[in-house]
Amino acid sequence: MDFKIWKRKRKYSIRLIINAILYVNKTGIQWRMLPNDFPDWKLVYYYFRKWAQDATTEKIHHIMLLQIRMNLGKYSSLSPVLIDYQSVKTTSVTDFKGFDGNKKVEGRKRFIITDTLSFIISLVITQGNIGERAGAKLAIEKLGNRFVRLTKILADQGFDGVEFITQIKEGFNIVLEVVAQVLSIKGFQVIPKRWMVAAMELKKLLDGLPFIEDLLKTMRLMCLTLRHLSIGL
């Protein structure tokens, strides 16, 4: 006897699910406050968590980034890249926060690595009391083996240290080059290529679970990347 496998017809399109997630990301509303124009918030949040756990969103962002680089006549794999971090105050009641003694900020840190086009390729959120070198190592580890040409990372003096530079070289086969400031100049200085990281730093850190913040920021980056693709850059 032949049996037919019946699949339940999808009630909502994936595009509508993505639009709902982007709506929450854009407006900052609670999931339960999703307008009736979108699917039920529980369904939307289910896909949101699912794509966070299997790294679907990061994979999509990575593919779009490679497409932009090829459109600009760049190699899909990149080198060098730039790394920086930012301490951000948070009002969240969660225990996932700490005091940054250098910046005198109670909150969290976000470590970002960008290419020379200012597109973020790695983003890690940590407690505020995590050291610069420890956070940088996490961001570098997140790069994985996606970029075979990556051999150099430019950083400021906050990531200096012979032992740390040696660890990065031996552990990842990457040269960490510290771009020093010009000591004879006081005040703000434009350090070569370092401004590209600051240009992509997000203005405010969302409160909530760390992986939720990470994914929401990745989706924001996806929107920016898609905008570049849509205008043919």
Tens of each residue's pLDDT in the chain, 233 residues:
454 555 677 788 988 998 898 888 778 788 899 999 999 999 999 998 888 888 887 787 788 778 777 877 777 777 788 898 888 877 666 677 788 877 788 888 889 888 887 778 888 888 888 888 999 999 999 888 888 888 899 888 888 888 999 999 999 999 998 886 533 434 434 445 544 454 444 444 444 444 445 555 566 656 656 665 555 54
The answer to whether position 174 is within a domain reads: yes
Tell me the CATH number at 93. Answer: 3.30.420
Decide if 64 is inside a domain.
Answer: no
Task: Provide the domain count of the chain.
Answer: 1
How crowded is the C-beta side of 226, counted as CA atoms within 13 Å?
Answer: 10
> In this structure, is residue 56 part of a structural domain?
no
Residue 224's pLDDT is 58
Is position 184 within any domain?
yes
Query: Residue 14 domain-assigned?
Result: no
pTM assigned to the model: 0.68
84 domain residue, yes or no? yes
Q: What's at 123, amino acid-wise?
A: L
pLDDT at 231: 54
Q: Which residues pair with 153 in a beta bridge?
A: 81, 176
Give residue 130's domain range.
76-203
Please, which residues have CB within 8 angstroms of residue 206's CB and are 6 or more apart in sequence?
28, 212, 213, 216, 217
Does 101 fall in a domain?
Answer: yes
Which residues in 102-135 are b (16+ Cβ under 10 Å) and which e?
eeebebbbbbbbbbeeebbbbbbbbbbebbbbeb
Does residue 134 lie in a domain region?
yes
